[in-house]
């Protein structure tokens, strides 16, 4: 399990900010399952759902920024788990662009890639790997979408993909937690570190990556913050 405990350039859990957080929360003094649950809840709700500049954000950068999407929040989750000597790795996928319906206008979705690189975190607890994905969407954002769609069951859009919008499997559990699983269309395999996954798989060309980092993501984050405060302004 030592392979799943080492720091990397992205999983920089030796950074003073990460060490201080783990110390202040008392996570290192807890049993692994209790610590993993508290860390999971912290990443889900204290690190808001939002769009990072790119997937190559370090864990300490994500912590400082206070927001992230599936891949960058996952990097922070891996780092915090490893900081507490809990083995963790990432599982890579591709998800359908349909996941962004409600966030991206239809004309932009036509120009965007049809699939997006996605990941969840797997943590070694109770002698097996536990799949964790439900940390991606914070509770405040999820509640606003749920309020806007009171009768919805299966749901894909606004960064959410679940079989039941009002009862998603996003609570920490040793049987797994999920919030975007329904949109997965390709399995990229298991990776020891997020560094390996993002070195091998990319979402965008160089030009598209620039446009996303400096233009589109800021618009998306404005949209996400508005939804978190007031709910969606229109239906899918």
CATH code, 219 = 3.10.620.30
Long-range pairs of 143-149 with CB within 8 A, sequence gap ≥ 24: 144/227, 144/228, 144/229, 144/230, 144/231, 144/232, 145/227, 145/231, 145/232, 147/231, 148/231, 148/232, 148/235, 149/235
**Which pLDDT belongs to residue 213?**
80
> Which of 34-48, 93-107, 220-234 has the highest average model confidence (pLDDT)?
34-48
Cα dihedral 122/98/208/77 (nearest 10): -20
Q: How many domains does the chain have?
A: 1
Averaged pLDDT for residues 97-113: 82
* Residue-number span of the structural domain to which 45 is assigned: 2-229
Residue 235 maps to a domain: no
**Which pLDDT belongs to residue 236?**
45
- Please tell me the distance from the alpha carbon of residue 59 to that of residue 65, in angstroms, as a whole number: 10
pLDDT digits (tens, 9 = 90+) for 2-59: 999 999 999 999 999 999 999 999 999 999 999 999 999 999 999 999 999 999 999 9
Question: How far does Cα 28 stand from its chain's mean position?
Answer: 23
**Which pLDDT belongs to residue 118?**
97
Closest-CA residue to 225 (of 72, 49, 104): 49
Residue 99 maps to a domain: yes
Whether the per-residue pLDDT at 235 is higher than 60: the answer is no
Residue 234 maps to a domain: no
Residue 236 maps to a domain: no
SS (H, E, C) 22-57: HHHHCHHHCCHHHHHHHHHHHHHHHCEECCCCCCCC
Residue 158 maps to a domain: yes
Q: Sign of dihedral through CA atoms 20, 23, 28, 34?
A: negative
How sure is the predictor about 234, in pLDDT bands with cuts at 50, 70 and 90? low
How sure is the predictor about 122, in pLDDT bands with cuts at 50, 70 and 90? very high
């Amino acid at each position: 399990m030592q392979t799943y405990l080492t720091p990397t350039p992205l999983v920089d859990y030796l950074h003073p900010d990460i060490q201080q957080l783990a110390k202040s929360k008392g996570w290192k003094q807890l049993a692994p399952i209790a610590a993993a649950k508290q860390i999971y809840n912290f990443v889900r709700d204290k690190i808001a759902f939002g769009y990072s500049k790119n997937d190559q954000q370090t864990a300490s950068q994500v912590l400082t920024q206070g927001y992230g999407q599936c891949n960058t929040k996952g990097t922070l989750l891996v780092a915090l788990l490893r900081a507490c000597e809990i083995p963790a790795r990432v599982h890579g996928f591709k998800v359908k662009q349909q996941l962004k319906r409600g966030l991206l206008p239809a004309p932009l979705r036509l120009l965007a890639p049809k699939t997006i690189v996605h990941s969840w975190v797997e943590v070694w607890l109770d002698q097996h790997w536990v799949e964790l994905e439900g940390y991606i969407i914070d509770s405040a954002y999820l509640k606003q979408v749920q309020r806007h769609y009171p009768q919805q069951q299966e749901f894909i859009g606004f960064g959410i993909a679940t079989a039941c919008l009002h009862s998603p499997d996003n609570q920490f559990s040793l049987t797994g937690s999920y919030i975007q699983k329904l949109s997965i269309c390709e399995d990229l395999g298991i990776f020891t570190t997020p560094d390996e996954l993002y070195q091998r798989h990319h979402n965008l060309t160089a030009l598209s990556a620039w446009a996303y980092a400096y233009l589109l993501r800021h618009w998306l984050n404005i949209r996400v913050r508005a939804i978190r405060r007031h709910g969606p302004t229109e239906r899918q």
